[in-house]
Amino acid sequence: MSSSGNATGKRAGRTQRALSRRALLKGAGGALVGLPLLHSLGASAGPSSPIKRLVLMYNPNGTVWDAFWPTGGETDFVFGEMLTPLQPFRDRVSVLKGIDLAVTAVGPGGPHQRGCGGLFTGRELQEGTFTDGCGSLAGWANGPSIDQVYAEHLGISTALPSLELGIRATAAEVRGRMFYKSAGNPVPPVNDPQQVWSRMFWGSDGDPDARLVQMDKRRSVLDSVQAQFASLNPQLSPADRQRLDAHQVMVREMELRLELAAAASGGSEPELACPKPPNPGSIAFDDAGSMPLVAQLQMQLLALAFSCDLTRVGSVTFSSAINDIGYPWLGSTDSGHTLSHAGPSDEAAQRELINRGKWQAEQLAYLMALLDNIPEEDGSVLDNTIILWGSEVSLGNVHSHTDMPWVLAGGAAGALKMGRFLEFDGVPHNRLLVSVLNALGVGVDRFGHPDFAVGSLSGLEA
Amino acid sequence: MLRRAVIFCWVSLGLSAVGCSQEPEPTQSEPRLECAPVSPAPAGARLLTRVEYDNSVADLLGLELGLAEKLFPAENTVLGFSNNLEAHQASPLSVEKYLEAAETITQALDAEKLAELLPCAAPEVDATCANTLIETLGKRAFRRPLQPAEAAILRDLFTTSSAKYGGAEAARLVIQGLLQAPQFLYRPESMGAPTVESGAVQLNSYEIASRLSYFLWNSMPDAELFAAADLDQLRTAEQIEAQARRLLKSPRARRVSLDFHRQWLGLGRMSGLVREGTQGVQTADKQEIDPSKLPAAWQASIEYFLTDLIFEQAGSVEDLFTSRSLYVDAQLAALYGVEAEYQSQAPTADGFVKVELSAKERAGLLTQPGLLALLAHPDQSAPIQRGVFVREQMLCQPIESPPPSVDQRPPDPDPNLTTRERFAEHTAIPGCASCHDKIDGVGFGLENYDQLGRFRVEEYGIPIDASGRVVEAREERLNGKFSGAVALSKKLADSAQVEDCMARQWYRYATGRVETEDDACSLQQIRAQFAASGGNIQELLVAVTLSDAFRFRVPGAQDGVE
């Protein structure tokens, strides 16, 4: 596993300080995760129906094909250089070639915008006023992303609907938003691990009786808030009503989740014995040198959230399509976006891009290792998790949307063919999204834009 | 770090297919628009931004906690602006944070502070007292009198809670209810019916009070605005103008101006900026410059400059592009060679003094060292970024993105070539020239300033060539050759296109929207008034509040007119 220890000069001191904080997140036994899986807050899941989890991972500006695609056949493949960090989990990784973001041919926007919007929604962009050069304008994606669809499918069964983790994901616009609760309603990532920690363990202090009182007060307040929404509703224009209705639904769902958590903690037998790790403390999370540390902390928190069943849905967003940042610990200090525009003959640039991509794969491997350390039934949480990793373009220097660099990871509870290098024939990625949803038990026959939402990805399902 | 030195811009086949040529905006030379007597604009319920939330809570409850800044997710942005109706919206995370903030706020309301809010002296809050609290505090929170149903909801909340937790705690829960109600978190503007003549809906006095206070103060209306609204005296242009002028006199208007300029000029990117070349530069007391402190100093310097120019000097667009003032602290004084002037004056609390720079070297905003340092690479100036910045932010002429195959990495410094010579290679390439004529002609004109914003006449002993040429500006008189930033700024200072662009930027900030055809007549009204004032920037803000778009909205479907 890579460490963040290579930073030099002034940054090193800061990283070092931050690293010592990381120790706080670790329990006495070392890693923070590796806790036994505790009782689910919701309906008990029998051994016949394992809890399935979904993680979507994004990194920007495409890849370098020669270093990304495996060589060899479906099962005897050899990872390209970029994906070698996944070697320890070879049996639980599938690399998918020949899948296109066909939906990017539809609707407004520039190539990065369309790619970001369509990546996990399978949808075109709405009309809008976000710019992407060329005076091209676009709005948000025109539908929900699969993580939010799965969260919706799960209903109110965990304290958090989903956990959106950012690692320097600072673009607060369409080129930095891959996850959508509904059409036009993006879900933002949180870049500060301390904020994630606060969200996960919000209100977990105090004795059970005090928490029941707190819940009673919240119930009264939130009921009044619901009533105010209802009271205002008839006076709104249709556009306003749509936005405020979405807000009201979020308030209602939050209330139900709070009820759930309060009930779990207030019973006669304290069921939720999920130990709260120490506050990770203040981290310079937008500092270039902190990025490796932040990535590790965020994924530790995600693993912990799964371990405690605080949620079953997560996403990890590295940077954004604007990606104007360096990876100084790799000696790659310039804007990644600028770098991605370098041509294939520029060997130095390709080397930097490969190093960055390899680092991304290391992050995935790190997350997989964390999840694999959490025992669950006969295996690990990883066995019951699907991780889907993608980028908004295939090659940065042509902004292509064909042969997208998709990686599937985790055991997918046995529903998908893993340990494969699967080559498809230019199929729309909507089919991949359908297959992932079906593997999670959502049961759909189409997803996303109707022109491309035709069935699942035959050959992927186990 | 490896970086290639040359072949800065190479173009693959099919450039014409990738590139783009349209500029989706009206031309300056178009004839004056024929406008209806009233030209309403679309409106929507705007969600409070973090700044607006924190200011509103401070004004409503007297608690300056800054919770939104700490807790709430950052707003989504459009064209740099974070208060956009379409982009800034609630999420599951922010809904949790609204609850957390409301609870934290009422925790901060101890017995003493709560007593200040309560209309009754009684230690125990009874129903009568609570009803008055709901009517008075509720009106301020919702920024209009409560409708009976809204008040009833809060009375129910009080009654239920009071029985269980006592009157004081019930009052706190009522406040939590207010702070999470959509009538507080949003600014709905849906009252009123369209007039028969115009088909537009005139915003009522409470809605205008909120528009004025959030535009000019980033906060809720004050007592005087409420009093005017109670008397329905925010109807006429004269009434609105009087209030706008009053609000502009407050320090709060300066706060808004800074918020606007941070977004317009992209000053948010200043944080963490690394600029090389300060080694060996010492302050008067022999301290080496600490480069990590420069970004904050640059930001403060620009902010002092803007506030002084717009408010203390009541400056104009012309002043904005010609003023030679610079605010420096000890480090900046050393960096820009004005220590003697710095030493001779008493600094502000945070150590800044105002100095005047040479008229040959500096003229206005574009030559502010902090801005030039922002628009630079760590080790060299950034003529492309600077050119794009002027075209997009000052002229409102967006530049198309380069085709994806273009290598956008800056060439490495080379002691045998000036920055201009290294960057100029790509303009010789036919495919690049069409855009770069527009960009570089401006950007190279700013080559007298290095990555720290210092004035220079040579690089590596080679004289700087700061000649430039503006092409394809919409305003014909802007086009043509110039030499150096002072000359360029003089062009901008006299430009109607720059005036128009500034008006558009403020308009986007004020309305929370990117302008469309529906806004053309309002923008024309604003431009005319702005120009008539001699380009006075405060007058521009007054003009925005008097525009039809600020006072009238297009009816929604529920108004029965489509």
Q: Which residues on chain A are in Cβ contact (under 8 Å) with B1?
A: 331-334
Task: Report yes or no: A147 at the B interface, CB cutoff 8 Å.
Answer: no
Q: List the one residue out of A218, A222, A196, A200 whose CA is nearest residue A275.
A: A200
Residue A40 in this model has a pLDDT that exceeds 50:
no
- Asked whether residue A267 carries a pLDDT value surpassing 60, the answer given is no
Mean pLDDT, to the nearest integer, of B46-60? 98
Dihedral sign from CA coordinates of B26, B30, B31, B32: positive
- Hey, are the CB atoms on B73 and A346 less than 8 Å from each other? no
Q: How far apart are CA B220 and CA B226, in angstroms?
A: 10
Which of B4, B73, B556 is nearest residue A238 as measured by Cβ atoms? B556
> Minimal CA–CA distance to B326: which of B316, B378, B339?
B339
The answer to whether the Cβ–Cβ distance between A218 and B99 falls below 8 Å is yes
- Closest by CA position to B242, among listed B193, B270, B209: B209
Interface test with A, best of B4, B96, B279 (most A CBs within 10 A): B96
Q: Which residues between 39 and 58 in chain B have a beta carbon less than 8 angstroms from any beta carbon of chain A?
A: 44-45, 47
Token output for A94:
């599938």
What's the whole-model pTM score?
0.88
Instruction: Report the alpha-carbon distance of residue B7 to residue B318 in Å, rounded.
Output: 40
Neighbours of A29 (CB within 10 A): 8
Percent helix / strand / coil, chain A, rounded to 5: 40, 15, 45
A144's CB contacts (< 8 A; 6+ apart) are: A121, A152, A180, A181, A182, A183
**Does residue B9 have a pLDDT over 50?**
no
DSSP A71: B
Residue B108 predicted with pLDDT over 90: yes
CA distance B357 to B325: 6
Distance CA B102, CA B50 (A): 14
Say yes or no for a CB contact (<8 Å) between A239 and B99: no
User: What is the mean pLDDT of the segment spanning A389-404?
Assistant: 93
Residue in B with minimal Cα distance to A329: B1
- Determine, for residues A243 and B95 on separate chains, whether the beta-carbon distance falls below 8 Å: no
The CA angle B236-B239-B243, to the nearest 5 degrees, is 140
Using CA atoms, how far residue B506 sits from B94, B526, B540, in Å, is 27, 10, 8
Categorize the per-residue pLDDT at B555 as very low, low, confident or very high, splitting at 50, 70 and 90: confident
* pLDDT > 70 fraction of chain B, expressed in percent and rounded: 92
B-proximal residues of A, 16-55, CB under 8 Å: none
Is residue A24 scored above 50 in pLDDT? no
pLDDT digits (tens, 9 = 90+) for B455-488: 999 999 999 999 999 999 999 999 999 999 999 9
Strands A163-167 and A313-318 come out as parallel
Buried b / exposed e along B351-360 (16+ C-beta atoms within 10 A):
bbbbbebeee
- Taking an 8 Å cut-off on Cβ atoms, the answer to whether B149 and A131 are in contact is no
Contact (Cβ atoms closer than 8 angstroms) between residue A316 and residue A367: yes
Write out chain A residues lying below 8 Å of B91, CB-based.
Answer: 181, 185-188, 250
Residue among B87, B177, B514 minimizing CB distance to A221: B177
Count CB pairs under 8 A between chains A and B. 216
CA distances from A208 to A159, A218, A222, A255, B166 (A): 16, 15, 20, 18, 21
Tell me if residue B187 falls in helix, strand or coil: strand
* Residues A160, A305 contacting (CB under 8 angstroms): yes
Q: Are B427 and B437 in contact (CB under 8 A)?
A: yes
Give Cβ neighbours of residue B10 (< 8 Å, ≥ 6 apart). A343, B405, B406, B407, B429
CA atoms of A307 and A27, how far apart (whole Å): 14
A173 and B87 within 8 Å at the Cβ level: the answer is yes
**The length of chain A, given as a count of residues:** 462
Is the pLDDT at B146 greater than 80? The verdict is: yes
**pLDDT at site B248:** 98
Q: What is residue B2's predicted lDDT score, i.e. its pLDDT?
A: 34
**B474: amino acid identity, one letter:** R
Q: What is the pLDDT of residue A194?
A: 93
pLDDT tens column, B191-249: 777 877 788 999 999 999 999 999 999 999 999 999 999 999 999 999 999 999 999 99
A300 touches chain B (CB under 8 A): no
Residue B365, token pair as written in the block: 């905003």
> Does B45 sit within 8 Å of A236, measured CB to CB?
yes
Q: Which residue has the tokens 């302008």?
A: B515
- How far apart CA B562 and CA B558 sit, in angstroms, is 9
Q: State the pLDDT at residue B10.
A: 31
Q: How far is B221 from chain A (nearest CA, A)?
A: 21
pLDDT at A397 over 80: yes
Q: Are A329 and A352 in contact (CB under 8 A)?
A: no
Asked if residue B403 lies in contact with residue B19, where contact means CB atoms within 8 angstroms, the answer is yes
Segment A109-154, tens digit of pLDDT? 888 999 999 999 999 999 888 877 655 688 999 999 999 999 999 9
What's the pLDDT tens digit per position in A300-315? 999 999 998 999 999 9
Q: Which of B41, B102, B111 is nearest to B71 (CA)?
A: B102
Could you give phi then psi for residue B261, rounded to 5 degrees?
-70, -35
Q: What pLDDT is recorded for position A134?
A: 54
d(CA B202, CA B38): 10
Question: Angle of helix B223-230 relative to helix B205-217, nearest 10 degrees?
Answer: 160
Average pLDDT over residues A26-30: 34
Beta bridge partners of A376: A379
Q: Which of A431, A423, A426 is nearest to A448 (CA)?
A: A431
In a mutagenesis test of the B interface, which of A104, A205, A237, A257 is the best target, namely the one with the most B β-carbons within 10 Å? A237
Q: Do B400 and A110 touch (CB under 8 A)?
A: no
Q: Which residues contact A345 (CB under 8 A, 6 or more apart)?
A: none
User: What per-residue confidence (pLDDT) applies to A132?
Assistant: 75
Separation CA A49–CA B243 (nearest Å): 65
- Nearest by CB: B95 against A254, A338, A341: A254
Residue A50 pLDDT: 85
Cα–Cα distance, A146 to B447 (Å, whole number): 50
- DSSP result, A372-441: HTSEETTEEGGGGEEEEEE-S-S-TTTT--SS--EEEES-GGG-B--SEEEEEEEEETHHHHHHHHHHTT
User: At which residue do the structure tokens 């999204």 appear?
Assistant: A433
